[in-house]
Each structure stands twice: as structure tokens, then as C-alpha cells.
Amino acid sequence: MKITVKLFAYLRAGRFKISSMDLPEDCTVQEVLEMLAISRKEMEIGIIMINGKRASFNSILKGNDTLAIFPPVAGG
Amino acid sequence: MKKKLLELLNDSKYSLSFSITDELSIAGKTGYTLNQVEDTALERGIVPLRYQRNMGAINIYEQRKLLHSRVGVIGCGGLGGFVIEELARLGIGEISAWDYDYFQEHNLNRQLMSEFRLIGHSKIEAVSRRVRRINPGIEFNGMYREFNEKEDKELLNKMQVIVDALDSVQARLELSRACRNYGIPMVHGAVNTWYGQVSTQFPGEDVIEQIYAGKEKYRLDERSVLVFTASLVASLQAAEVLKIILNRGNLLRQKIMLVDMLSMDMEIIDIPKND
């Protein structure tokens, strides 16, 4: 199945802003993060959204979903 | 006294040009503060020269509303310095600011108020001096310590808007709670390297918790911030403050604006309330 992944802020560094990913069925958000080599530190994610709705590490993705991942930017 | 003030303001030349020198002279003669002189002037349709170029974008009633407004800024670093500069130039009548820190050399890349000669000096002191120099009509309360909900009860009670210019997750969550307890809208901003975010949270809303709850210990190793990221996010925050006070335009409520200065894009994401 194909999904769209959108990354924000410093998660984009060395990765992408938006990309289509081909995934096995029933893939979780956690597995996508691992595929993208988003590190443990970066994984203290601010917000995860699937199709504009709040999701979590364990959420299961479906074909054509859009997954958006925001890190907790906190500097001032 | 008021009669004398009104008499002095009656001079028709002031409707064309009302300078800071005129204001100081009237304040000296009447014993009124600059803030009071300006208030009476604006009430009578006289615009102080330094607000003349605000007119058009906002009107004279709105300028007077700003003069009566009270805004708190928590943190005087990268974001706070620019936010306070802009609020002072806009003509916010009373600004209160908190910061326990002093300037260090690594602040010079981005913190508006930092200067070589001020290294080792408190940020609050520098901000206070700057505000006086930009806009002597403003009342500025500088707190050389951390913001604290219990200790700052009195100021919180009169605050109309609070600006989050903090640099830690824990402090933001505490501020969000304080704003909720006191019914104050909070304008959130945060920056890192090329990236920034802005959001406005009214009492009863929960964007700050949605972003940060459970991440109190979070601290990114990368502490880099570029000056334009800080000034841009601070400007967006100042615009939100202005609109909250004037009740105009659109606010970033239950939304977050994400800015990426490297790709040059801005995106607004809806963050629906968590029920």
C-alpha cells in the first residue's frame, strides 16, 4: 500500500518534506519511523497525525493515508 | 490639573504634529505621565507623531486601546527581545517581562538586545533600557527572575495577553496552566535552527498540552537558532498579540503555523481539541 509522509521542522534535515512510501499492509507509525531512521531522541515526537487526526506510535496505517510528524520544537 | 492638560492640548498645532518633545513639555507642566498625556491626546483626536505611521493599519481608537493594554512576555532571549521591541513600537501601554538570565557571548548571533558591552549584564536591564529609549510612554515592569504563577499573581490578574518566549518544555506547560487558571490568552512561539512555530491558545484550549505534555524532560542536543528564525517567529507572535487586543483578523487558535526558512514554506495545521 502507498501512503504519504510529511515531516516538519528538523525532522526534514537529511530526509524530506513530503514523500510517498510503499509499505506492507498493517504497518504502524512506529515502523515507519524506524524505516525513516528517526532516532530515539527525535522520536520524542511532538504530534503525530493521520489524515489530520491525532494518532500515536501504535496507530495502524491504511492505503492512501497521509501521515504527518511534528517534532516538539522548544527553543526560544 | 486635568483642565490645564486639556488647555495645553487645545493648541491647534498639535493636530498636525504632536512630538515627543511636546508631550514631555506638557507632562512637565501638568505633572501627568507621558502615558496619561497620550491617552488624553488620543481621546481628543491627536495622534502622537511616533504612532502616525500606525494610522491606516489601525485607527486612533485602536491606538488608544493599545495604550490601555497590558501584555506579559516570558523570556527575553531570542524571541522575547524581538517581541518586546515590536510591542513597544506598536504602543502597548504596559509591558511586563521576566528573565533570570544574563547575556553571554553566544547570544550575539540572534538576540536583539545583546551587545558586546552588555555581556555579563542581565537581559531584563537591557530590555528595560531599550524600551525607554524606543518608547518612553510605556510602562515597563522587568522581573529579574523566573516567572512564577504564585509570586506573580498580581500582575497575572491584570494581564490581557501573555507571550511565550521560553526555551523549555517544562516552563511552557507551567505557563499554559497559569494562563488557563487566570483566563489569559497565550501566544506561543518556539524556534530551532531554520524552523519555527506559532500558535495562540485561549483558556480552555489545549494546543500546548497536545504538543508538549509528557515531554517535560525533552531537550534537543542541537541548540542552534538563526537570527531570522527568531525575528520572524517573534513578529508572528507580535501580530497575534495585536489582533487579540484589537479583536480583529484571524488567530492561530487550535492551529499551529509551522515555518521552514530553509524550504521557504509556511503551513498552518489544524490541531483539533482533544476531548
Chain B touched by A66 (CB under 8 Å):
no
| Integer CA distances (angstroms), B271 to A61, B60, B259, in order | 20, 35, 16
> B215 and A72 in contact by Cβ < 8 A?
yes
Nearest to A75 among B190, B258, B267 (CB): B190
Of A19 and A40, which is predicted with more confidence?
A: A19
Q: What length is written for chain B? A: 275
pLDDT at B182: 97
Asked whether B219 and B185 are in contact (CB, 8 A), the reply is: no
Asked whether the beta carbons of B39 and B68 are under 8 A apart, the reply is yes
Of the candidates B140, B23, B52, B124, the residue with the CA atom closest to the CA atom of residue B88: B140
- Measured between alpha carbons, how far is B267 from B273 in angstroms, rounded to an integer? 19
Is B82's Cβ below 8 Å from some Cβ in A?
no
B43's enclosing H/E stretch is helix B34-43
Closest to B120 in 3D by CA, of B134, B105, B130, B110: B105
Question: Closest chain B residue to A47 measured between Cα atoms?
Answer: B211
Chain B positions touching A73 (Cβ under 8 A) are 190-192, 195-197
Q: What is the ipTM of this complex?
A: 0.86
Cβ within 8 Å, pair B223-A54: no
Q: What is the pLDDT of residue A41?
A: 63
Strand B186-192, strand B161-164: pairing: parallel
Question: Quick check: A43 pLDDT over 90?
Answer: no
Spatial distance between the Cα atoms of B252 and B248, rounded to a whole number of angstroms: 12
pLDDT tier at A42 (50, 70, 90 boundaries)?
low
pLDDT tens readout for residues B218-266: 776 678 999 999 999 999 999 999 999 999 999 999 999 999 999 999 9
Q: Percentage of chain A with pLDDT > 70?
A: 93
Q: Which residue has the cell 500558535?
A: B199
Contacts of residue B211 in chain A, CB cutoff 8 Å? 46-47, 70, 72
Q: Select the residue of A54, A72, A76 nearest B212 (Cβ to Cβ).
A: A72
Select from B164, B192, B270 the Cβ nearest to the Cβ of A10: B192
What is the model's pTM?
0.95
Specify the 3-state DSSP secondary structure of B25.
Answer: helix
> What local confidence, expressed as pLDDT, does residue A40 receive?
65
**What 8-state DSSP symbol labels residue B112?**
T
- With CB atoms and an 8 Å threshold, state whether A12 touches B196: no
Q: Per the structure block, which three cell numbers stand in for B30?
A: 501638568
CA geometry: angle at B211 spanning B207 and B216, to 5°?
125
Looking up cell 494562563 gives B179
Question: For A6-36, how does the pLDDT look when each residue is reduced to its tens digit (9 = 90+)?
Answer: 999 889 989 999 999 999 999 999 999 999 9
The parts of chain B modelled with pLDDT lower than 70 are: 220-221
B171 touches chain A (CB under 8 A): no
Contacts of residue B172 in chain A, CB cutoff 8 Å? 74
Do B191 and A47 make contact, defined as CB atoms within 8 angstroms?
no
CATH number of the domain at A2-70, out of 3.10.20.30, 3.40.50.1820, 1.10.10.10, 3.40.50.2300? 3.10.20.30
Chain A contact set for B221 (CB, 8 A): 41
Contact status, residue A6 vs residue A68, Cβ threshold 8 Å:
yes
Task: Tell me the three-class secondary structure of chain A, residue by residue.
Answer: CEEEEEECHHHHCCCCCEEEEECCCCCEHHHHHHHCCCCCCCCCCCEEEECCEECCCCCECCCCCEEEEECCCCEC
Size of interface A-B (CB pairs under 8 A): 85
The dihedral over CA atoms of B9, B13, B14, B16, expressed in degrees to the nearest 10, equals 160
Q: Which residues of A touch B166 (CB under 8 A)?
A: 76
Minimal CA separation from B239 to chain A, in Å:
17
| Cβ(B186)–Cβ(B211) below 8 Å | no
Give the pLDDT of residue B1.
Answer: 72
Q: Chain B partners of A44 at a C-beta cutoff of 8 Å? A: 215, 218
A40 shares contact with chain B (CB less than 8 Å): no
Domains in chain B with CATH codes = 2-63 (no CATH), 69-270 (3.40.50.720)
Interchain CB distance below 8 Å, B274 and A68: no
Q: What are the residue boundaries of the structural domains of chain A, listed by start?
A: 2-70
Q: Render chain B in DSSP notation, one character per residue.
A: -HHHHHHHHT-GGGGT-B-HHHHHHHHHHH---HHHHHHHHHHTTPPBGGGGGGBTTB-HHHHHHHHT-EEEEE--SHHHHHHHHHHHHHT-SEEEEE---B--GGGTTT-TT--GGGTTSBHHHHHHHHHHHH-TTSEEEEESS---TTTTHHHHHH-SEEEE----HHHHHHHHHHHHHHT--EEEEEEEBTEEEEEEE-TT--HHHHHHTT-TT---S---B-HHHHHHHHHHHHHHHHHHHHT-S---BTEEEEEETTTTEEEEEE-----
